Every structure is written in C-alpha cells, then in structure tokens.
Chains A and B, each alone.
Chain A
Amino acid sequence: MTSERKFIVPIGPQHPALKEPGHFEFTVDGEIVTDASVRLGYVHRGIEKGAEERSWIQDLYLFERVCGICSHVHATAFALGVERLAGVEAPPRAQAIRSLVAEMERIHSHMLWLGVAAHEGGFDTLFMYSWRDREIVMDLLEALTGNRVNYSANVLGGVKCDITDTLRDQILRGMDQLEERIQHYLNVVTTDRTFLARTEGVGRMTREQADLFGAVGPTARASGVPRDVRVDAPYAFYPTVPVQLITDERGDLLARFVVRIKELFEAVRLIREILAHLPEGELTVRMPRRIPAGEVISRVEAPRGELFYFIKSNGGEKPERVKVRTPSLCNWGSVMQVAVGHKLADMPMILAGIDPCFSCNDRMIQLKRKDSRQWMTWEDLRQYGIEYYKKVL
C-alpha cells in the first residue's frame, strides 16, 4: 500500500554529517529517498559584491578567502584572468610555482576528503591515519609559503615565494613518504570488506547523468567523463608538464575514492616533474594599477573540479564584475538528482562523496609575545605547544 502523504526529513543547517552549514530536505518513502532539495547560503559573504568595491590587488586577497581548502586555485584563477586582461604574462618560474602549489593543495584537499569520507562511512581509523599523513604536505606548504591555509603564494603578475635547493629536497622527501602511504590507502579502500559494503554500487551516477547534470572534477571523472581543465585547456605550467587524465567507468562511491586516490599519485608525479623542470628567472612582472576594459573567462581545475571565473573590467582601478562559479555548486546539482532512489542511511556518504567544500582551521605560525618584540619561529611555536600541554596534563 502506498501512502499519498509525504514524510520529509530535514537535515541541517547545523548537523553532525557536514562540517559546514547547509540545509537538506529528503522526502522519503520508508527508507528510500524519493526527493531531495538543498538550501545554501549560511556562509554567504557577498564576496562578488565586495569585489566591485575593492581594488584589483585587494580582490586577489578577497578571492583567496572564498575557500579555506582550495584558496590557491581561486587566487590563481583570478590572477591569470586579470593578467590576461592587462596583456601581461607571469614569468615561467612563477607559473611553475603556481602549478606546484596547486598540486600540493590538491594532495592536502584529497587527503582531507579521504578522512572525512572515511569518517562518514564509520571508518574512523582511516580518517585519523589519512589526516596524520596529510600533515606531511601541510608542513611543506607552510615551509614554502609561510601559511597552512590561504597560502597567499600569488601576486598579480607572478608569485612571491621561491623554491630553494633545501626546500626542493624537503619536498621530494615528503613526496616519497606520501607515495608509500597513498599506495596503502588505495589497497585499503579497494579490499576492506566493510568499507566496500558502504561504497560499491552506492550512489551510482552514469556517464549520461554526469554529462546532463554538468558534474565536474573527480565526481565526473569517476563516472567516466573525461573532463579536466588541466588537460582540456592547460594553464600556468601544465603545458610544460602534461597531466595524465584519470577516469573510472563505475560511477559509484568506490569509483570516487579510487579516482581521487589515483589523482594523489598523479599529483606526486607532477610535483616531481615540476621540480625537475623548474625554470630559472624572475618571479614577477610589473602590473598596471588600472586594468584595461574588457571581459575574460578564467578556468582552472580546483581539487573538486572546474572553477570558473568571469571577470569584467571597465578600465578602472576596481573590477566592474567578477562572477565565481565553484565546482561544488555543479556537483550539488548532480548529487541531488542522484540521491533519489537511495537509502536515507547512505545520504551522508553520498553527500560526502562529491567532496563538498568544508572549512578548516587555520593557525598562526608567527606571533608576537607580550613580553618581547621577537617573532616566534615554527620550531619555537611547536616546542611552546609541547611544553604547554605538558603543563596542562
């Protein structure tokens, strides 16, 4: 007997599954979801409007703060777009460093996701291990740029951090360590029986659906859609170090795990390639303060997929309009359609499967002590932390 009455399960805005606020409504018939809707905007900050009221340089920092996880790709997309408007090209060494930071960011983002997704699947050991190993790349990002999040590696016309020989060796050592761990994770997610029971055949999105709903990034590639901006329209240093496209035909949650983990291998390979082919030379070129009138589209491959910037200048010191379309928005559209027909209990995993953007904590590495004018180094702060907790315990 089917009932005419609908039962709606509201989830959010604050809830344990996702670390960022979002509101979902699932209409269910027994255990099976028959309709799904999403309400976003709880962390809407009006950045597009804010950009129209700030200078081009201020906007670089503003857009870097769209996302705490993939901040670098936002700044890169904006910088590449504005540079094209101004008819300026950043030097090859700067382009290489942009791609290098982007791949390191991809590693940190995918490993962060791996942990969160494992947690949603009730596999907290995997969550803790992957986040522990993620610290390797977080430390490298910090050594390179001075920050764990919002690295601020970009300036309009280039980058502001350089690679020394010591740092290069440090990064290569980190990559060796990570590669070993990534292999371990690939083995775990493809062989652990309880984990496979939560992922195999769950949340399947066919290639036709992925195409129709406009899914992007690993979500699309896990459904066999060959879509990657780094391959389709190479930018920054990718024309010099071509990216190997990774796809999987299965389209289920397992495929999304496999694609992202294989992309970790690819990122490690790219980082080694970039360091092997790092051009010598300047880090920046001069940028005009006023940007000539015109419109550009700037697309880059964020960890979650295609990031789209539309930038319009009226020839002044501030942009006329900047439109940002983040990959999560595309993937929300697709996942809400795919959710229908699945069990309510699978929803957390299916939602986490597209890697919706989560906030992460930021930390200071340098601080001014009250009693002195000295800056603390990272090592000092680390030691301070250890001593502090010894006292507390």
Chain B
Amino acid sequence: MTVEEHLAQAKKIVEPFAVEMASPDPWRLDVVILPANLIPVLQALKDAHWGYLSAITGLDYPPADGQEGQLEALYHLVMNGVVLTIRVKVPYAHPELESVCQVYPAASLYERELMEMFGFVLKGTPSTERLLLADDWPQGVYPLRKSFQSGKAQEEQA
C-alpha cells in the first residue's frame, strides 16, 4: 500500500471522532479529539490493524492571560511511512485520561513516563510506580512542565 492509501484509510477511521484534522507533512495526519473519544478511536484503529503505538509525547501549556494551564498528550501511531498523531488536551485541574493499556498493553512504560514527567492522571493504568525519577523525588513536582526550572536555569537567573 502507498502512503496515500494508508493516510486515506486512517482518515476514514478517525473522521467520526475528529474535532480538527491537519496534515503538517505529506506523510503525517494530526487529529485533535475529545478526551472521551480516546479509547474508541484507538480501538477502531487497532481493529482495522492500522499501525502500532510508536510513542506518546506530553506537552505543557502553562497558564497565561487568565487562561488556565493545560496538558496535551500526543499518541503517535506509525504505519510504514505514515505517522498519525492523536491529540488530546486536558486542563491542569483535571488532568485525567483513560489508560490506553487496554488497547496497547506495552503502553504501560510510556504512561508511567507521562504521569511522572507531566502529572497526567491515567485511569486504569496497570502500574503507577516510578519508572524514571528517583524514589525520593518529591510528590507533585513534574520536571517537564514549563514551571519546573532545572539547576542550570536557576543559576542563570540568579
């Protein structure tokens, strides 16, 4: 199958759930969905044997101009040369998403990273134990949020 055919197939599956769709590169499809649709859309892709979950990227949008802070999770699915990105945004106050391990069991490692680095709450995830951060790392401090400053950044400011 060609890149175009893979893209067309992906488009057909995700269209019913999409709030917004974009194609930033000829071999990419970016789809914004509502958090409630996360499992249905991934399940639909898996049922159609469309690709595998390659990575989950977390993004932080700190509060600005009276807007409350938000977290975004990007689920990157790869099928040969095509990358489909499912994007979901949640507010700081309720950073809750359904765990995708019921669809992709190996996602557990990615989810543990997402929880400790950004402070997502992933309902139903099989393990909430620390994967990367030290055991004595303080609770509620999420290093990949923009509000967290590393030692280097603090030094530069001082």
Query: Residues of A at under 8 Å CB distance from B?
Result: 37-41, 44, 46, 48-50, 53, 84, 211-214, 232-233, 294-297, 299, 306, 308, 310, 312, 321, 323, 325, 329-330, 332-334, 337
Whole-angstrom distance from the CB of A87 to the nearest CB of chain B? 12
A sample of 27 cross-chain residue pairs with beta-carbon separation below 8 angstroms, ordered by A number, consists of A40-B131, A44-B133, A49-B144, A49-B150, A50-B150, A50-B152, A53-B152, A211-B52, A212-B106, A214-B53, A214-B54, A233-B27, A297-B85, A299-B54, A308-B55, A310-B55, A310-B57, A310-B74, A310-B76, A323-B55, A325-B54, A325-B55, A329-B109, A330-B106, A332-B109, A333-B106, A333-B108
Q: Which residues of B contact A334 (CB under 8 A)?
A: 106
A41, A306, A337: the one within 8 Å of B132 (CB):
A41
Question: DSSP majority for the A interface?
Answer: mixed
Q: Which of B110, B129, B133, B150 contacts A53 (CB 8 A)?
A: B150
Please list the residues of chain B having a beta carbon within 8 angstroms of any beta carbon in chain A. 24-25, 27-28, 52-55, 57-59, 74, 76, 78, 80-81, 83, 85, 104-110, 127, 129-134, 143-144, 148, 150, 152-153
Q: Which 5 A-B pairs have the closest CB atoms?
A: A333-B106, A41-B132, A233-B81, A325-B55, A213-B106
A307 to chain B, nearest CB (A): 10
Docked pose: A262 CA to B69 CA in angstroms: 51
Q: How far is the CB of A65 from chain B (nearest CB, A)?
A: 15
Q: How far is the CB of B158 from chain A (nearest CB, A)?
A: 14
Which among B28, B58, B104 is the interface contact of A214 at CB below 8 angstroms?
A: B104
A contact residues around B130 at 8 Å (CB)? 39, 41
Contacting residues, chain B, for A296 (C-beta < 8 A): 24-25
Q: Report the Cα distance A332→B104, complex, angstroms.
A: 14
B17 to chain A, nearest CB (A): 21
With contacts A44-B133, A50-B152 taken as known, whether A294 is within 8 angstroms of B109 at the C-beta atoms is no
Which residue of chain A has the shortest Cβ distance to B80 in the bound complex? A232
Shortest Cβ gap from A233 to chain B (Å): 4
State in angstroms the CA–CA spacing of A133 and B53 once bound together: 37
Bound complex: CA of A233 vs CA of B26, how far in Å? 12
